[in-house]
Amino acid sequence: MRWRDASLPLLVFAALAIAPFIGFGQGHALTLLARAMIFGMAAMSLSLLVGGAGLVSLGHAAMLGVGAYAVVVLDHAGVTEALVVLPVAVLAAALFALLTGAVAIRTSGVHFIMITLAFGQMAFFTTSSLAIYGGDDGYTLFSRMEVAGSRFLEGRLAFHFTCLALLAGTWLLVQALLDSRFGRVLRAAQQNEVRAQAVGFAPYRYRLVAYVIAGAIGGMAGVLLSQAAEFVAPAYLTWQRSGDLLFMVILGGLAGPHGALVGALAIVLIEEWLAELTEHWRMIFGPMLILCVFFLRGGLVGLLRR
């Protein structure tokens, strides 16, 4: 990996590391940064599909929701140990991705988009019907998870750096996958599937593995999102949330996971800034996004490089 590609995410990680000590140490500011980092993880997992495999999913928020509702089920059963909850939630999201991806990846283009949207909506309506876990009203967690019996995640600063560590780990994983032989096969199949098959590769298998990995990372982001708010609701799984994640990837740039990282941070922080200016902030935010699509063809990362 070239230094130019690594320098931007390293600068972002450094800025997030020092942010609590340079004026962002207040409770609301740390919560906002944690939320931005969590969506950064989810967006990077989606970038593995969109930028790496050419799979545009409108159901990726379902992965977050499955991870978050795994936390809810275990919390309702009295299990709050992170060493148990996190693996179970990640495996649940990966299994959901495996089952749905095995069907969806047999299609492509608009058909793939619509099938992932349908699976996402199925998950949304299923969670809405779970009256035992709050139904449409959502579920309030009893507390944040314990880690080996310790409740250090209750501290905002500790939670901030936990999110930062997992964010950096997600970037390393996604970037390593894209730089590996696995990632090269994904891109080759995206450019010319027939040629990839002719040289002996099975694009379906590679895409399915990428889909499962992205689902697992999305499940981890869902766990953290549930801990940040200490609340889980079916709104986590809506197609609008999937659209937000997709736009984070596009806005940042499709060159790699660093684009999704920058796009997620930019959207979350700009939303917060505009909301403080006016209650009609969406009327400003929408045209801003449209202008970005027209004039930032390489995304924010491309603009920073220029």
Buried b (16+ CB within 10 A) or exposed e, 87-102: ebbbebbbebbeebbe
From CA 108, how far away is CA 260, in angstroms rounded? 22
Classify the C-alpha dihedral 245-248-250-255 as positive or negative: negative
From CA 210, how far away is CA 60, in angstroms rounded? 13
Q: What is the pLDDT of residues 135-180, one digit of tens each?
A: 899 999 988 899 888 888 888 899 999 999 999 999 999 999 999 9
Query: Which pLDDT belongs to residue 16?
Result: 92
Question: Which phi and psi (to 5°) does residue 231 adopt?
Answer: -160, 145
Q: Is 140 helix (H, G, I), strand (E, B) or coil?
A: strand
| CA-based nearest residue to 116, from 207, 231, 223, 203 | 207
| CA-based nearest residue to 58, from 222, 237, 193, 204 | 237
CB of 137 closer than 8 Å to CB of 233: yes
- DSSP symbol at 180: S
Q: What is the pLDDT of residues 97-116, one digit of tens each?
A: 999 999 999 998 899 999 99
Query: Which pLDDT belongs to residue 291?
Result: 81
CB of 252 closer than 8 Å to CB of 258: yes
Pick out the chain residues at pLDDT < 70: 1-5, 25, 306
Structural domains in the chain, CATH included, are: 3-305 (1.10.3470)
Query: Which pLDDT belongs to residue 3?
Result: 57
CB of 141 closer than 8 Å to CB of 147: no
Q: Is 183 helix (H, G, I), strand (E, B) or coil?
A: helix
Q: Is the pTM of this model over 0.85?
A: yes
Torsion on CA atoms 31, 289, 173, 208, rounded to nearest 10: 120
From CA 249, how far away is CA 253, in angstroms rounded? 6
